[in-house]
Structure formats: C-alpha cells, structure tokens
Amino acid sequence: MLIETQFLYESCLIEGNVPLADKNWFGTGGAAAHFVEPLYPQELRDAIQFAHENDHTVTILGSGANTLISDDGVDGVVIKSQMKDITYRDGGASVALVTAGAGATLDDVITFCLANHFLGLEEFSGIPGTVGGSVYINLHYFEFLLSQFLLEATVLDVVRGELMTVDNAWFAFGYNQSTLHAGTHILIDATFRVYKADAITDVFYAQGRRHEIMRHREKRYPSKNTCGSFFRNFHDDEVALEVNGRKAIWVAYYLDKIGVKGQLKVGGASVSYQHANMIVNDGSATTADIIGVARKMQELVRKEFGIVPQPECRLVGFDEYPLLNGSYPSTGSGRTR
C-alpha cells in the first residue's frame, strides 16, 4: 500500500495518498489525497475540522458497494467510518430496538438480530453495504425499504460540528432518497425497530428465508466487481411508455430491449450476462472503462426510447460529470429492482 504521509490531527490519524481500489466493490479508481477511519464521533469531528481548516472537500465512504471512484482518485478527505458497535434495548412487549454504528455492515446487523431472536431485517440478506450507505440510499429489495425499520439515528451536523438525534421523518425517505444526500450531515449510528420472535421456530424460519434470499440473489445477480444496479429506475413523470396499464419505470426493461446484456463491453468492463442493469469488472477494468459502458448504455436507450437513464451508483472524484444528464432530476422516487 502506497502511504506517503501519516500524521495526527487532534484525535484522528490522517493518512495521505491511500489507494481506494480495494475499498469499493468495482475494485477500480485512484487514491484518496487524505484518508481517515474514525472509531469515535470525536475523531470524525476532528477530521471534518481538518478538512474545513484546509479547505478540503469531504467524501464519506461506506463499503463502496454503490460507489464508482475516478481513476484520478479523490481530492480532499475521504472518511470511512469504523464505528461498528451493535447493541439493543427493549422496545416493549414484542419490539426490540437495535442500534448499529454507521460502519457496521448490514450483514453484521442481520446476524446480530437473528442471534438475539429479532426478526425483520433478514429481508435485506445478501445486499452488501454498511449501515451508513444503506440509510443514505434507503436500501430496497422488492417491497422492503430500510426506512420501514428505522426509528431514530445519530447524525453529525457537518457545519456546526454538533451531534443530533433525529427521527425517521427527518430523513424524508423516498426510493434512493434521504436527507443525507444533501451532504450536510453524516450518519453516526441508526436504531432499527425489529420484532422479538414469539417462538424459536420463527427464528428458524427467518434463517431459512435469509439463506433462500441469498441463494436466489447468487443465481440472479453478479455478486462481486459490480455496484449492483448501475442506473436507478425512472420516475413516473419521466416515461411515457405503459406496459399492462402501468408506467414502464424499470430501467432494466429498456436495457433488455436494446440487448446489452452480456454483449456491451469496453476494455475490462461489460454489462453482466445475468442482469442488463449491472456492469461488471472482469478484473482488468479501469473506471474509465466502466464509464464507457455506462455512457454507451445511456446513448442506446436515448436513441431507441428518447429517455436517458441516470445512475443510482454514486460517482466520486470526477472533475466533470462523466455521463449524460437527463432532462429531469437525478434523485427521487424511482423504484429499483
């Protein structure tokens, strides 16, 4: 690993020129100019203060499962939370309240829940990512949204440096949407409302369901060197086409029609043969290759249908937006998968 500098600023260790390719699921991209892994809120505060004092931008990274990092790397300070504690308290007769640090993976939270006989979150089994990234995007799988479980959270106000306890409504959740998108707050931890199992057989059922979901996902989707769905689904007002009396908002529908699945390739990046909305790195791709594939997908959909898919994947470190802009907002109520 190429670490050029390493120094202490107040309570936090700041490393310089840290490669990020091994910190995201595409496995591509350059280095972070400055990199911090805070274990406590105070370290996070100090990292933000360091960024403010030096006029650096701040980029928050979870496990990089929904992030594409520029080949030129990321200027400023990249912060990857290491706050991973998971605890619970009683929430009443049938309810438990599970609090997890932003740096914990959702998989860890589900494992913790099932070990303590708490049910609900297993519906998100097999989806990679941290609590921070999952709350940010309001993780979704079929009819389940993470916001259905979130009771409250602790966030850091980036400007004031203050910790706040906020409730579900504060997040203004939608599909792929939360207040965290504004970049004014960083998630420290989140508390989920889950259900105490009535009987041990309910736990066995939930464990079985978890394995079934993971098996199903493994068969249907690529599970590494990808960010999952690259483009978000369209919003109702972005599409005119109707299928069976419903607006055709599913981006994979259009991508399937133009026949990119397993066909379109640029360098080491290609559209997965399993899913028309997933781009995979064969191990040799650069971020430029992935952008090349994504742009081609946009161009083909625009040519055929007059609409331009917009990324669900977060693009980080690009001086200029590398994809085609649509004529509509890039976030909102589009539903994916």
Ligand X SMILES: Cc1cc2nc3c(=O)[nH]c(=O)nc-3n(C[C@H](O)[C@H](O)[C@H](O)COP(=O)(O)OP(=O)(O)OC[C@H]3O[C@@H](n4cnc5c(N)ncnc54)[C@H](O)[C@@H]3O)c2cc1C
C-alpha span between 68 and 74 (Å, rounded): 11
Q: Which is nearer to ligand X, 177 or 286 (CB)?
A: 177
Q: Which is nearer to ligand X, 29 or 64 (CB)?
A: 64
Find the binder of ligand X among 70, 99, 134, 147 (CB under 6 A). Answer: 134
Residues 185-204 that bind ligand X (CB under 6 A): 186-187
Residue 252 binds ligand X (CB under 6 A): no
Q: Which is nearer to ligand X, 91 or 235 (CB)?
A: 235
Find the binder of ligand X among 65, 110, 239, 297 (CB under 6 A). Answer: 65
Site string for ligand X, 228-247 (x = CB under 6 A): x-------------------
Residues 3-62 that bind ligand X (CB under 6 A): 25, 60-62
Residue 132 binds ligand X (CB under 6 A): yes
Find the binder of ligand X among 133, 292, 311, 334 (CB under 6 A). Answer: 133
Residue 287 binds ligand X (CB under 6 A): no
Pairing verdict, β 67-69 and 314-316: parallel
Per the CB < 8 A criterion, the answer to whether 131 and 80 are in contact is no
**Three-state SS annotation for the chain:** CCCCEEEEECCEEEEEEEECHHHCCCCCCCEEEEEECCCCHHHHHHHHHHHHHCCCCEEEECCCCCEEECCCCEEEEEEECCCCCEEEEECCCCEEEEEEECCCEHHHHHHHHHHCCEECHHHHCCCCCEHHHHHHHCCEECCEEHHHCEEEEEEEECCCCEEEEEEHHHHCCECCECHHHHCCEEEEEEEEEEEECCCHHHHHHHHHHHHHHHHHHHHHCCCCCCCCECECCCCHHHCCCEECCEECCCHHHHHHHCCCCCCCEECCEEECCCCCCEEEECCCCCHHHHHHHHHHHHHHHHHHHCCCCCECCEEECCCCCCCCCCCCCCCCCCCCC
Q: Which is nearer to ligand X, 127 or 197 (CB)?
A: 127
Q: Which is nearer to ligand X, 178 or 286 (CB)?
A: 178
Q: Which amino acid is it at 181?
A: H
Residue 277 binds ligand X (CB under 6 A): no
Site string for ligand X, 91-130 (x = CB under 6 A): -----------x------------------------xxxx
Pairing verdict, β 118-119 and 140-141: unpaired
Residue 137 binds ligand X (CB under 6 A): yes
Q: Which is nearer to ligand X, 128 or 292 (CB)?
A: 128
Q: Which range touches ligand X (CB under 6 A), out of 84-92, 191-199, 221-229, 248-256? A: 221-229
C-alpha span between 323 and 325 (Å, rounded): 6
Q: Which is nearer to ligand X, 152 or 202 (CB)?
A: 152
Residue 141 binds ligand X (CB under 6 A): yes
Residue 81 binds ligand X (CB under 6 A): yes
Residue 66 binds ligand X (CB under 6 A): yes
Q: How far is the CB of 62 from ligand X (least distance, A)?
A: 2
Binding footprint of ligand X on the chain (CB under 6 A): 25, 60-67, 81, 102, 127-130, 132-134, 136-137, 139-141, 180, 186-187, 221, 223, 226-228, 314, 337
